[in-house]
Amino acid sequence: MKTMVKLHGTISVILRKTLLPLVIVSLGGAITIAGCTVSHTDSGMDANQIGRESAHDHADHTMSSDGIKDGVTISHEELRIQNLWARPAFKGANSAVYLNLHNHGKNAERFLGATSEFAKAVEIHEINMEGDLMIMSPVLNGIEIPANGSIELVSGGYHLMLIDLQSDLHEDDHFPLALQFEQSGQVIVDVLVAQP
């Protein structure tokens, strides 16, 4: 089954469920990304560890060019997590989650990935330009968050790919996501589904 995404100012991602190399086609100014490689790794976490309860109320949010900025900050050890949101998608398809991670500690931290009962797998992906081609690929060893630094998971860069959704994600829905860090362990956050 194919899902496809076209880039018109913002990135819309089109993926296949089968393991194929990334194929990029340019058609009159529109770029289609298809066949994103999916590895389906086992996180070792039981989906029952995550409930449907919302950790934060995202009812009042504002849109920006970077996505959602709702003013909610989640503290986890020395980390601050902000601007959590995901794109709407249907059951069986894929979606993406975006967020900002700020490390206020004196040591670097590594973001290892995430799990959710709402997707068969969650992977960190990265989009890079290679000449005129836009390439999306999994990030296998996590992302370093420098001491007193930050990273952004945004459209067109790092993002979390929700693979094979187990239910529909509609605009204004919320779902829990377990983020895993090398030093500070796991934190469960509430993600708003939105369409920027």
pLDDT value at 184 more than 70: yes
Q: Does domain 57-193 have CATH number 2.60.40.1890?
A: yes
pLDDT, tens digit (0-9, with 9 covering 90-100), for 97-109? 999 999 999 999 9
Q: What is the pLDDT of residues 110-157, one digit of tens each?
A: 999 999 999 999 999 999 988 999 999 999 999 999 999 999 999 999
* pTM confidence score: 0.68
Least confident of 17-26, 59-68, 112-121, 144-153: 17-26
Per-domain residue ranges of the chain: 57-193
- Give residue 70's pLDDT: 67
Q: What is the 3-state secondary structure (H, E, C) of the chain?
A: CECCEEEECECCCCCECCCCCCEEEEECCEEEEECCCCCCCCCCCCHHHCCCCCCCCCCCCEEECCEEECCCEEEECCEEEEEEEECCECCCCCEEEEEEEEECCCCCEEEEEEECCCEEEEEEEEEEEECCEEEEEECCCCEEECCCEEEEECCCCCEEEEEEECCCECCCCEEEEEEEECCCEEEEEEEEECCC
